Structure 1
Amino acid sequence: MIAVDVATVELSGRRVTADDEAKRRLAYLLSRSLAEEGISEDLIDTLEEAFADRPGCAARSRKLDGLLIRLGLPVRRLRPPRVAPLSEDAVKRITDRFRRATRQLLQVVPHRVTLYPIEELCILLALRDEQPDPDEALPYLRRYALAILALLDLMGDDE
């Protein structure tokens, strides 16, 4: 037997208003407009991959912390967690995806914003042309992802 709470019963008995239908239609059309312009879920997944934390080796010993606490000494200060570097294949794949998105954004953005975003597009073009060192690949990809997100935000498709 399935347990149904009161809120579910109230929502299931509520009629769909014209306002609800308009919101659903608008959400559908916005997602279609992004897909038609080539900004797909694949780009969103790639952006999330660039920002994902990949924990490296643990830099903190719990035994030592426990010993310090028992002796009444302060615990060592935490260093920022290490992030495992991306593989060369992942860097190449993400960079290629971001460069394709840059070409698409250059064509789409002028038609989707009221004021032409000169500064944001200049940053995006500079990042597209940059060739980072392998040890600087992750910060570079994160800067590139932030530049893409800034333009997507200006387009207003995530509202």
Structure 2
Amino acid sequence: MVAVGVGTATGLLRRPVTENDVAKRRLIHSLSRSLADEGIPDHLITTLEEVLSDRPGAAAPARKVDGLLARLGLPAPRQRPPEVCPLGPDEAARISDHFRRATRLLVQVTPHRVALYPTEELRLLIALHNEQPNPGEALSYLRRYALAIVALLDLMGDDEE
């Protein structure tokens, strides 16, 4: 590492910007925009929302005791989490296919869109890409996969300013 004195830093900062520098900045900006344009398709966002949203099973019947406790200002007793509808094999295969295509794209695009290379996030995404879950574990696997994709999308940020 090289140390730069205050005088040198001040001189470098005062140096005028050349046309070549301006051209480089425009090129970097347009490359960044083109990566975003080929980036995330709308159907991926829809699929992520589909997987991460609640998939309610049969609705639990309302209890009279809960209404009475609410009127008295008392907290309702803890309840078990709601039942979740399992994914059908065709639906799980469709979503998994969307995520695998998105993984190939994200592995190519993400390094160009972040300041520091996201090693752990990409490692997890590739591991999930290669995983073959049991049919009974499809929903939990797809939710883990969706969260890994969302983590990378968060790192990449938004182009809109």
Indicate whether the TM-score tops 0.5: yes
Aligned to 1:3: none
Against the structure 1 CA distance between its residues 60 and 118, is the aligned structure 2 distance closer, same or farther, given a 3 Å change threshold?
A: same
Against the structure 1 CA distance between its residues 114 and 77, is the aligned structure 2 distance closer, same or farther, given a 3 Å change threshold?
A: closer
Against the structure 1 CA distance between its residues 119 and 78, is the aligned structure 2 distance closer, same or farther, given a 3 Å change threshold?
A: same
Aligned to 2:134: 133
Q: How many aligned residue pairs are there?
A: 126
Aligned to 1:45: 46
Aligned to 1:19: none
Deviation at 1:87, TM superposition (A): 1.2
**What secondary structure sits across from 2:148 in the alignment?**
helix
**What secondary structure sits across from 1:94 in the alignment?**
helix
Against the structure 1 CA distance between its residues 60 and 78, is the aligned structure 2 distance closer, same or farther, given a 3 Å change threshold?
A: farther
Deviation at 1:126, TM superposition (A): 0.7
Aligned to 1:87: 88
When the two structures are superposed, what TM-score results if normalisation uses the length of structure 2? 0.67
Among 34, 37, 48, which residue is 2:36 paired with?
34
Deviation at 1:88, TM superposition (A): 1.1
Q: CA RMSD in A?
A: 2.7
Q: Matched residues in 2 for 1:75 and 1:150: separation?
A: 34
Q: Deviations over 1:13-64 (max 9, x none)?
A: xxxxxxxxxxxxxxxx96x753423x1111100000101212112344526x
Q: Matched residues in 1 for 2:107 and 2:137: separation?
A: 26
Q: Matched residues in 1 for 2:62 and 2:77: separation?
A: 10
Structure 2 gap ranges (5+): 1-31, 70-74
Does the Cα contact within 8 Å between 1:34 and 1:40 map onto a contact in 2?
A: no
Q: Matched residues in 1 for 2:117 and 2:41: separation?
A: 23
Against the structure 1 CA distance between its residues 80 and 158, is the aligned structure 2 distance closer, same or farther, given a 3 Å change threshold?
A: farther
Q: Matched residues in 1 for 2:102 and 2:142: separation?
A: 13
Does the Cα contact within 8 Å between 2:56 and 2:85 map onto a contact in 1?
A: yes
Whichever of the two has the greater Rg, that structure is 2
